[in-house]
Chain A
Amino acid sequence: MSTDIHLEHLAVGYRPPATLRAIDVRLATGSLVAILGPNGSGKSTLVKTLLGLLPPLSGRIHGLATRGIRAAYLAQQSDIDRSFPITVLETVVMGLWPRLGHVGRVTTEHLRQAREALGRVGMAHTEQRTIAELSAGQFQRILFARTMLQDAALIIMDEPFNAVDESTVQDLMTYIHQWHQEGRTVLVVLHDLGLALEAFPLTLLAGGGRVRYGATAEVLCRRNMVDAGYWGSSSHALERLFNEPDTARAV
């Protein structure tokens, strides 16, 4: 039985007209996908629809709710209240919610798993610190540990590399590659086109009301980028990306 996720004639948005429409994409199990697009192109809206936080305006998603697949989701850091007085260990244990619910007891085995996940992201020494005391990069590692603890077949991350320094990005990418190798489906909303080309085999490009999906190098051609509305907003980055400064300007 296939556990692919099939988006059929999907239209997403908070209200009509749809931000993205006519989405027909089959995400094969175990895919590693970068979700790219200019600001406001509907990346986060699409992600929220996939998570079931937002109902589709039309169309269907096969293979998620029907098979009880629950995604492990990492929200943007700006959506998280870092001033809340909670320890690192408590934050990681949140990843066990599907197993614990409101009143399930946290056992020593649960704590062992949480500590192991913290160790894997190199943050074991911080377990009793509060999340307010961490840097943005350290905090993101904590959230990756929480994601590991969720042990989900589908992992969706919304801009996990925002405000994170280069060496941390490298580390976090190794965890993402591990999940990929373990056969999990991983979708990551990104801004860094270079990183997508370098590390993500597949790309879902959102913009101009529709999505293009396929091998990263093919999807990120100049024509698609222009259609998606990248031009103007970050043409400088594009020029560097394609190394064709003169012709790029002419388009």
Chain B
Amino acid sequence: MLYEWFIQPVLEFSFLRRAVAGTFVLSLGAAPVGVFLILRRLALAGEAMSHAAVPGIAIAYLLAGLSVLSLTIGGLITGLAVALLSGLIARSTVQYEDASLAAIYLIALASGIFILSLYGSHIDLSGFLFGSVLGLDDDTLILIGISTSTTLVALAFILRGLVMECVDPQFFRSVGGSGARVHFVFTVLVVLNLVAGFKALGTLMSVGLIILPAASARYWGRTITGTLVWATAIAVVSSYAGLLISLHASTPSGPSIILFAGAVFIFSLLFGRFGVVTRHLARAEPAFAPRAASRGALMAPKAEP
């Protein structure tokens, strides 16, 4: 029974094997990127960047057709351009960064859809927006592989600087670190992972595999290493579970993956190690070791994990 439900379909259907391989590898890169996106308080910026890549992909499609390479380059260019542009607008005008991001990504998303529908009414728009994880071709799998390899190698290089830039940016600069450089490399990785996930999960939901597992992991991981491991595990499990559910219940596969990750998030929020219910029970238990006195709570309002 278990075998029939969990293992057999993957052995039986090659399209499912490709989908599992694609989403697993995607998870390995997307989840760690998501953890830092959240810890840098850029979750919404990641969301915006994913929509921002749409016009680039649309234009690349019109120019070069369904070539994975040109679609990727197009997505990378506009995604990065929007990330840098919104930062520039926020720094040099009165606009807040989130507002300028929101404004630009709306323009980008609308123009992307506009371009697509203007020139190619035969395009499968829902596949574009919501992905087709059961139809991953070789090129897409290779793109995902390259994206994840690049992400893991680059993260290994900037990890220490990225952590320091998050925790104590002034200190990082004072010891000669370049926060701007670290941030740029990280932004490239975010866009790369978004674009790599477009074919599988669609432009609207590619960011889901980045944000949701990472957000759930915050309720489990105590240290940065733990959080990264939890996020990756949750992403992998969500991918597999979502694919199986979509197969057995005939639901759309991309949304099934993201919805499962969403269910994990709600479960973690309630019952994770730092979840609402868990912490409430821990407080009710008198034997629980008292926390350190909260002197200076005003200075560190976010002191509680």
Contacts and interface: CB of A to CB of B under 8 A. Distances in A.
Interface of A: 51-53, 70-75, 77-87, 90-91, 94, 97-98, 100, 102-103, 130-139, 150, 162-165
B171 interface: yes
B303 A86 contact: no
Interface stretch (B13-21, B109-117, B126-134, B221-229): B221-229
Nearest to B182: A102
A62 to B, nearest CB: 19
Given A81-B166, A91-B167, A130-B223, 14 more contacts: A73-B171, A73-B175, A75-B170, A79-B168, A79-B170, A83-B302, A84-B167, A85-B222, A97-B176, A98-B176, A102-B161, A137-B296, A139-B300, A162-B299
Contacts of A91: 167
A164 B223 contact: no
Given A85-B227, A132-B303, A138 B292 contact: yes
Given A53-B170, A70-B175, A85-B223, A164 B302 contact: no
A135 B298 CA distance: 11
A34 to B, nearest CB: 20
A90 to B, nearest CB: 8
Interface string B141-177: 0000000000000001110110110111111111111
B93 interface: no
Given A70-B175, A71-B174, A73-B174, A81 B302 contact: yes
Contact of B224 (A84, A100, A162): A84
B294 interface: yes
A134 B299 contact: no
8 contacts: A53-B173, A73-B175, A82-B303, A84-B167, A85-B223, A102-B160, A103-B156, A103-B160
Interface of B: 39, 156-158, 160-161, 163-164, 166-177, 218, 221-224, 226-227, 291-300, 302-305
Given A51-B174, A94-B164, A133-B291, A82 B300 contact: yes
Contact of B305 (A53, A79, A80, A133): A133
Contacts of B176: 70, 97-98
A86 B296 contact: no
B295 A97 contact: no
B224 A137 contact: no
Contact of A84 (B39, B173, B174, B292): B39
Given A85-B227, A132-B303, A136-B296, A80 B168 contact: yes
Given A77-B300, A82-B300, A102-B160, A130 B295 contact: no
Given A75-B170, A84-B39, A86-B163, A163 B303 contact: no
